[in-house]
Amino acid sequence: MPEAATGHTRHYPSFAAHEMVVAAEPLAAKVGRDILRDGGNAVDAAIASALVLNLVEPQSSGVGGGGFLVYYAAKSRTLTTIDGRETAPAAAKPDRFLNPDGTPMQFFTAVVGGRAIGTPGYLRMLEMAHHKFGKLPWANLFAPAIKLASDGFAVSDRLHMLLVGDKFLSRYPSARSYFYHPDGTPLAAGETLKNPQLARIFTEVAMRGADAFYQGMVAQEIVDAVHTASPPGDVTIADLANYRAKERGPVCGSYRIWRVCGMGPPSSGGVTLLQILRMLQRFPPSRLDLDAPDAVHLFAEAGKLAFADRDRYLADTDFVPAPVSGLLDPAYLADRAKLINTTRDSGVRALPGEPPGPHAERGDDASPELPSTTNLAVLDRDGNAVAMTVSIENQFGSRVMVDGFLLNNELTDFSFLPQRDHRPVANSVEPGKRPRSAMSPTIVFDTGGVKLIVGSAGGPAIIEDVAKTIIAVLDEHLDLQRAIDLPNVGDRNTGTTEIEAGPAAAALSAALEARGHHSVVGPHPSGITAIERTATGVEGAADSRRDGSGAGD
């Protein structure tokens, strides 16, 4: 799992009349709500909340990482998606994660240290969003995080448990001195943690913009930390100075009477999510009760087919043309859906299809993909909406810490094998390329505007967990908290149908085994946050598997 499971804490939905912020940690949600109260809009609130998450949920995201932002402007009825994904250094080569004998490295051999660190995109993404759509002054959005970093905050139970279980973080002096006591014991839940270094960085960026991070002293400190890590990486001053966030075209499609929109490549989230939903829409909603084995079977079969296409075709389209329109072609998906046996699993992995339109012959991806991630959902009183997912990849990223923030290990989202079956892999490492992601910040629309804002943490399972939530809300008419807290299930074409451990897991596993599945029961932590616009106002809910909550007015 990207982040270790730390149990469930019963959560309750939040209700408001007009506006809502939902984040994976309550302090971040409250800061976002306060920004809305001060006259900020959805983008302002998302930025301020994200900066606070950098402090209170440091294992999952921060300025040393990157992400994707989906923004809906209600007045103009326009949708904008911003790509702040990390990039491979200019020195990167396709064999980056191969052993001398040509075999792929073990995951933690690749992850820990400098080798997997990509050029961060987080602050450039936030800056672009604010420049285009923000309402309050940029510096105002940093003030809550600066105060929190200076005054301190209480270590959460979840952060404490992750520190206890992590085998690598304490090997790196900066991280060890921040997260552990001199005797090597991790900070206890409830202890006050201050971060004056990050307060200094945030103050500089608040005054000078993201250039204060990507140029000058901070950039040099990042490069020094990367190059002196064990093993070292190769991010340079030029890599940082040349980084640009990019506005991409959104990926949208229909699901029954709704319109579902999200990120396109280098995120695979929007395409793969829509493939799953549109293959399942051939079945009536009554057959998609995800508490029932028959529905879980259908859900898993659609997932297998969608992930087979994902692993063959999707990558950074600045480097590799991806047949996005072909993968979402209604006739193509209707044919793919016909491959779903409604009563039996095939017993083998699904093969990718041949979508219409030109596409190169490719080998299948071989990336381990264990991103540690967080998601924000925001709806303001004018109807503007943000879904934003940000990440540093594995929990605590590369474990390399500089100036109070952790650096990512996102390059391990590339395929470790640059070729499969003598064919190039679309998601192979190349200089300047952005690794494929499963992050799926999503906005669902009905005829009245925004219906649902949703996203999750959880590596490639993000796509299935978001799909589960959408189906449960739209088809099953479950309340938002119940939809999020449904057991996570799915098959990502790995040969295994995964079932989240819980009271009903054994019975579900037996029922799926009887249908031909090879099932496995175990922890399946996610980090879903969502907002639903209802007939009476706004409802927000956060995953009971993490610490989040909603806050609104």
Active-site residues, by number, are: 373
Bond before 104 cis per omega within 30 degrees: no
> Are the CB atoms for 160 and 187 separated by under 8 Å?
yes
The three state secondary structure string of 312-347 is: HHCCCCCCCCCCHHHHCCHHHHHHHHCCCCCCCCCC
Kind plus residue range of the DSSP H or E element containing 542: strand 537-542
Within 10 angstroms of residue 188's Cβ, the number of other Cβ atoms is 12
Burial class (CB in 10 A: 0-12, 13-18, 19+), 342: exposed
Tokens of 524: 């399946």
> Are the CB atoms for 271 and 336 separated by under 8 Å?
no
- Residues paired with residue 452 on neighbouring β-strands, in sequence order: 444, 532
Burial class (CB in 10 A: 0-12, 13-18, 19+), 4: middle
Half-sphere exposure of 143 (CA within 13 A, CB side): 12
Which one-letter DSSP state was computed for residue 434?
A: P
d(CA 68, CA 84): 6
Half-sphere exposure of 292 (CA within 13 A, CB side): 10
Nearest to 357 by CA among 324, 383, 395, 310: 324
Q: Between the CA of residue 415 and those of 5, 188, 240, 412, what are the distances in Å? A: 26, 37, 23, 7
> Are the CB atoms for 410 and 429 separated by under 8 Å?
no
d(CA 185, CA 188): 9
Nearest to 324 by CA among 277, 278, 272, 260: 272
Beta-carbon contacts of 56 under 8 Å, excluding residues fewer than 6 positions away, are 25, 27, 28, 148, 153, 156, 159
